[in-house]
Each structure stands twice: as structure tokens, then as C-alpha cells.
Amino acid sequence: MTDAPSIDDVLAELVEEFDLLGDWEGRIEYVIDLGKGLAPLPEEDRTEDHKVPGCAAQVWLAVRREGDRLVFAADSDSALSKGNIALLLRLYSGRTPAEILAFDARAALDRLGLPSALTRQRANGLNSMVGRIRDAAAAA
């Protein structure tokens, strides 16, 4: 799995994709499309333990270990929240806890212009999702 692009390479790809989209409406549509590509979350992972607090919608985030890496699975009952978590999984899933903790998600999301395109409540939800991923990495 060492051939996988680094978290910074994935961010650079996302920045390029977002730049091509131009305005925030195009970016939001793109994020929603990312969510449509998310694998379905197994019913047994839709538990209170996996719910991300602080989100406007219901968001579930499950984590499992594969060797030294953390693999995340997620879903939401909101198209935009599902897109936001899909974007985060693209950055974080399959990484080591050290890679996750060393990555500045807030700066990355700012580079994508995402928080400014979201309502305050949605931006807070996005921060809660990042927090849950970082907590999982810190606990691993």
C-alpha cells in the first residue's frame, strides 16, 4: 500500500479539482457528487457510538484497523454532509495514525474554500467530523 499517494498529494488533486469548478455553487455540487460515490455503510455501523456529534444531519463514522493503517467508513442522511465526509475519507482513509495527526485539516479545508462555502452549522459539523477522525487516530 506504499504506492498510495500521500495525503498532501491527495489534497493537491482536490485543490486542482476545486479550482476548475470556480464558484462555491460548483464546489458544493461537486462535494455532493463525492457523497454519491460513498460505499453504503453496513447497518451494524449505524449506531449511536458511531454518530458524529455536532453535525446538522446524522453522520456515522466507523473506523477499523488494517495493519498500521486506519480505514474509515461513513454515511449521512444529508447529501451535503455525506459529500463532506466522503471528501474527508478521500484524505484520511488508509493512513497511519501519525499521518492523520500530522495533517492540518483546517488549513487544507481552507485551501479548498470549503468552510466559507458552508453555513456556520455545516462548517461546525465538518470540524466535528475532522475531530472524530483525529480522535480515532490519537486513540490508535
Is residue 89 among the annotated active site residues?
no
| Band of residue 119 on the pLDDT scale cut at 50, 70, 90 | confident
Q: What is the pLDDT of residue 1?
A: 46
Average pLDDT of the residues of the chain: 92
Kindly list the structural domains of the chain, giving each domain's residue range(s) and its CATH number in brackets, ordered by start: 7-139 (3.90.1010.10)
Catalytic residue among 7, 11, 55, 136: 55
Percentage of the chain surpassing pLDDT 70? 99
Please report which helix (H) or strand (E) contains residue 16, including its range. helix 7-21
Q: Which amino acid is at 127?
A: N
Q: What's the whole-model pTM score?
A: 0.92
Residues 6+ apart with CB under 8 A from 18: 27, 30, 112, 113
